[in-house]
């Protein structure tokens, strides 16, 4: 066993405050240059939701979008953590395998900041590689194993735990369930505003569906101790998510329904870390290449994926090398063990 879960370092908070101040100054300068005197961007202390921005259908970034840091939140997906809060507002939801064959989510927010997200749980080594594709993202998490913390400290991100945000109300404990499944974060306390689609440097393209594909009413992805089913709803033009056989809904009763689902086949290997029970922490390799299945518009497309470096987004292409575009809306990426 490599160590117990404990909070991160307070130094991250100082860096984050500097980042917030710098971005606020840029936004103010833009506002004054435009001659606007009544506009007000949400401050770090606001819970207000900023206007939603969607990625450009062509796959390019709007020149008016501000390239800034997105927010990534590690979200508990154990049975006691469901239903979750704010999951439907994420632009991208990554699904990864953790100890004991269970699953955990990492939700990325750029076009909308919901009032609350959670339950928030601890980070894993794989997260650091996955997050390198973004421009210094803000990572909200409950803590990490002691031996992992130095790696988090050196990573090009701003890690904010409850200890780092102590006193500013960014984190709070809910009263409707027991710890550790009751920790929530207020995104508006960590970012001054939603950074916009330009922050989603994932490599994803949005637009018309690729030719071909096979009609598919539903698909199930299994982990050793978890499973996800995606069922096409023609009336909603979305894939309805079910977890462990039950509908995946948010605390306000909304069914989680992404427009695109990517089942990305990767290498999942043992890491050098374990949980407090001695279970090894899986490491999900997201740099490299392989195959994937893209679900959109009620069809499945067999494609290839490639991520050349940790700082690159992931490209998805057809057999002839043509880029694969996703449908407008939320994207779920489920990392599954390659055959």
- Taking residues 87-102, report their average pLDDT: 96
In the predicted model, is pLDDT for residue 184 greater than 50?
yes
- Average pLDDT over every residue of 95-106: 96
pTM of the model: 0.81
pLDDT (tens digit per residue) in 101-160: 999 999 999 999 999 999 999 999 999 999 999 999 999 999 998 899 999 999 999 999
Quick one: pLDDT at residue 279? 80
- Separation between Cα atoms, residue 192 and residue 143, nearest integer Å: 23
Position 65 pLDDT exceeds 70: no
What are the DSSP calls for 61-101, one per residue? PPTTS-----EEEEE--SGGGPSBBSGGG-SEEEEEE-GGG
User: Residue 67's pLDDT is what?
Assistant: 53
For residues 257-270, average pLDDT: 97
Average model confidence (pLDDT) for the chain?
Answer: 84
* pLDDT above 70: residue 28: no
Cβ atoms of residues 187 and 169 within 8 Å? no
- Predicted pLDDT of residue 278: 77
The CATH class given to the 5-37+67-199 domain equals alpha beta
pLDDT at 42 over 70: no
Residues β-bridged to residue 105: 75, 95
Q: Report which secondary-structure segment, H or E, holds 263.
A: strand 260-274
CA–CA distance from 131 to each of 52, 137, 287 (Å)? 22, 7, 11
Torsion of CA 62, 67, 69, 72, to 10 degrees: 20
User: Domain 205-337 class?
Assistant: alpha beta
Banded pLDDT at 166 (limits 50, 70, 90): confident
pLDDT at 43: 28
pLDDT tens per residue, range 281-290: 899 999 999 9
| Residues carrying CATH 3.50.90.10, the chain | 5-37+67-199, 205-337
Residue 25 confidence (pLDDT) above 60: no
Q: Which residues contact 4 (CB under 8 A, 6 or more apart)?
A: 145, 146, 276
163 CB contacts (<8 Å, ≥6 apart)? 7, 8, 10
For residue 172, the model assigns a pLDDT of 97
């Amino acid at each position: 066993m490599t160590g117990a879960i404990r909070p991160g370092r307070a130094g991250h908070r100082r860096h984050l405050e500097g980042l917030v101040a710098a971005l606020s100054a840029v936004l103010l300068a833009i506002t004054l240059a435009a001659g606007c005197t009544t506009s007000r961007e949400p401050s770090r202390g606001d819970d207000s939701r900023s206007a939603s921005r969607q990625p450009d259908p062509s796959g390019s970034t709007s020149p008016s979008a501000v390239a800034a840091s997105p927010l990534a939140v590690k979200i508990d997906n154990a049975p006691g953590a469901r239903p979750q809060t704010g999951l439907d507002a994420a632009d991208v939801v990554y699904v990864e395998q953790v100890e004991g064959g269970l699953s955990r989510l990492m939700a990325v927010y750029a076009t909308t900041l919901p009032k609350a997200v959670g339950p928030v749980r601890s980070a894993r080594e794989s997260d650091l590689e996955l997050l390198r594709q973004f421009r210094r993202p803000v990572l909200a998490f409950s803590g990490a194993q002691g031996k992992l913390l130095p790696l988090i400290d050196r990573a090009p991100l701003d890690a904010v735990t409850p200890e780092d945000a102590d006193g500013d109300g960014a984190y709070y404990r809910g009263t409707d369930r027991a710890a550790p499944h009751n920790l929530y974060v207020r995104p508006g306390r960590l970012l001054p505003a939603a950074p916009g689609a330009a922050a989603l440097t994932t490599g994803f393209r949005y637009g018309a569906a690729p030719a071909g594909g096979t009609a598919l009413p539903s698909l199930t992805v299994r982990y050793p101790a978890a499973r996800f089913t995606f069922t096409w709803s023609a009336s909603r033009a979305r894939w309805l998510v079910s977890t462990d056989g039950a509908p995946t809904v948010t605390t306000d009763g909304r069914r989680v329904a992404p427009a695109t689902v990517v089942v990305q086949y990767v290498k999942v290997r043992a890491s050098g870390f374990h949980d407090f029970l001695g279970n090894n922490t899986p490491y999900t390799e997201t740099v490299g290449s392989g195959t994937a299945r893209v679900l959109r518009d009620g069809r499945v497309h067999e494609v290839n994926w490639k991520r050349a470096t940790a700082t690159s987004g992931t490209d998805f292409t057809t057999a002839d090398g043509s880029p694969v575009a996703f449908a407008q809306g939320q994207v779920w990426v489920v990392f599954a063990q390659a055959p």
